[in-house]
């Protein structure tokens, strides 16, 4: 099922900040490369997104590859580039105490009001959990923990003297000030059909999904059903899609070569690959599904030819 949209006015774009160097660079070089790209996109892209992992996850990456930490990196870069909106894609609820996490996000909102998106998910990378000493319960438990985290965060942002007794988390007479004003959107990531998308229907302002258009459309149908069950307006939830490989070049052949060389490329149907005109057509297809924000990783990073071409020849079509 799809919804009719005005593709010329419904798409915003965010840049996915690289969390580890894919070209063998060290962490200092990665920082220089990242800020060089942010210097270009600030004021043109709508947002920037930071991934919450402490170990590399893409193919070809050695376990000792340098990896940034999400929240410290995000807050540092948000202060340096306040024209962009900033969010995590997405925070792993297991890695931070829910009440402290609510305070961390609220504090950044006080420093950068209106520019923060609270992205959160249930967590999935088992080797990361084990390496850093976190319990890794079964998916149903992690998703229930996610829901309790969101419930605690929402209560602390709205009221004082909060007491909450959940199955996994609790707070007692907790105060959080200053409270976010305005409240940041809550973006929940994940596509589990029985549990995660029900949490999205109950609590999310934004949903973050990935994969192919066919899979994404099916997830939207499931989400629509959960919204009907819990009495939520499906259209009130902003739909976002993260693309791990944008390979754009003057010719299709060049773009395909970029994609094939990327450790993040898995499937053409889950990527944006081609000339500017071809990429525009691909984005229009996503807009027709209801997507209104894309989080994009460019295959040629740390080079900037691809992102420049995208900004100059693709983004004006959706301005």
Q: Write the pLDDT tens digit of every residue in 247-260.
A: 999 999 999 999 99
**Average pLDDT value for residue range 201-211:** 98
pLDDT tens for 268-279 read: 999 999 999 999
Asked if pLDDT for residue 1 goes beyond 80, the answer is: no
Q: Percentage of residues in the chain with pLDDT exceeding 90?
A: 92
Residue 136 lies in a domain: yes
Is residue 211 within 8 A of residue 263, CB to CB? The reply is no
Residue 188 lies in a domain: yes
Residue 157: its H or E element: helix 139-158
Q: Indicate the burial class of 188 (C-beta count within 10 angstroms; 0-12, 13-18, 19 or more).
A: buried
pTM of the model: 0.95
pLDDT at 6: 41
pLDDT tens for 66-93 read: 999 999 999 999 999 999 999 999 999 9
Asked if pLDDT for residue 2 goes beyond 60, the answer is: no
The total number of structural domains in the chain stands at 1
Residue 300 lies in a domain: no
Residue 63 lies in a domain: yes
- Residue 267: CB atoms within 10 Å: 12
pLDDT bracket for residue 8 (50, 70, 90): very low
pLDDT tens for 149-170 read: 999 999 999 999 999 999 999 9
Residue 203 lies in a domain: yes
Question: Higher confidence at residue 57 or residue 104?
Answer: 104
pLDDT at 58: 75
What secondary structure does DSSP assign to 173-192, as a single string? EE---SPPSSPPPEEEE---
CATH code (residue 224): 3.20.20.30
Residue 201 lies in a domain: yes
Residue 56 lies in a domain: yes
Residues in contact with 120: Cβ distance below 8 Å, sequence separation at least 6, in sequence order: 88, 90, 91, 92, 93, 146, 149, 150, 186, 187, 188, 189
Residue for token digits 């939830």?
237
pLDDT at 222: 98
Asked if pLDDT for residue 200 goes beyond 50, the answer is: yes
Whole domain around residue 88: which residue ranges?
A: 12-239
Is residue 201 within 8 A of residue 229, CB to CB? The reply is yes
Alpha helix locations (H) across 16-92?
A: 27-41, 70-80
Asked if pLDDT for residue 137 goes beyond 60, the answer is: yes
pLDDT at 61: 76
pLDDT bracket for residue 23 (50, 70, 90): confident
Residue 42 lies in a domain: yes
């Amino acid at each position: 099922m799809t919804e009719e949209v005005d593709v010329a006015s419904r798409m915003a774009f965010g840049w996915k900040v690289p969390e580890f160097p894919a070209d063998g660079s060290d962490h200092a070089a990665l920082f220089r490369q990242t800020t060089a790209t942010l210097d270009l996109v600030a004021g043109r892209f709508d947002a920037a997104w930071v991934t919450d992992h402490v170990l590399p996850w893409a193919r070809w990456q050695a376990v000792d590859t340098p990896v940034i930490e999400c929240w410290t990196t995000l807050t540092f870069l948000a202060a340096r580039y306040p024209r962009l909106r900033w969010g995590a894609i997405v925070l792993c609820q297991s890695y931070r105490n829910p009440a402290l996490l609510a305070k961390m996000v609220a504090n950044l909102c006080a420093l950068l009001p209106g520019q923060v998106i609270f992205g959160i998910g249930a967590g999935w990378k088992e080797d990361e959990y084990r390496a850093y000493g976190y319990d890794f319960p079964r998916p149903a438990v992690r998703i229930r923990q996610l829901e309790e985290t969101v419930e605690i965060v929402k209560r602390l942002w709205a009221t004082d003297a909060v007491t909450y007794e959940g199955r996994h988390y609790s707070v007692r007479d907790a105060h959080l000030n200053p409270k976010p004003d305005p409240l940041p959107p809550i973006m929940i990531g994940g596509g589990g059909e029985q549990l995660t998308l029900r949490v999205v229907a109950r609590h999310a302002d934004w949903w973050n999904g990935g994969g192919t258009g066919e899979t994404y459309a099916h997830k939207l149908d499931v989400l629509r059903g959960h919204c009907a069950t819990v009495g939520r307006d499906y259209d009130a939830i902003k739909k976002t899609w993260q693309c791990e490989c944008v390979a754009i070049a003057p010719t299709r052949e060049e773009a395909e070569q970029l994609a094939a060389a990327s450790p993040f490329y898995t499937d053409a149907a889950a990527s944006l690959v081609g000339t500017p005109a071809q990429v525009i057509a691909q984005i229009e297809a996503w807009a027709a599904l209801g997507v209104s924000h894309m989080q994009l990783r460019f295959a040629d990073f740390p080079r900037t030819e691809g992102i420049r071409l995208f900004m100059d020849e693709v983004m004006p079509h959706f301005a």
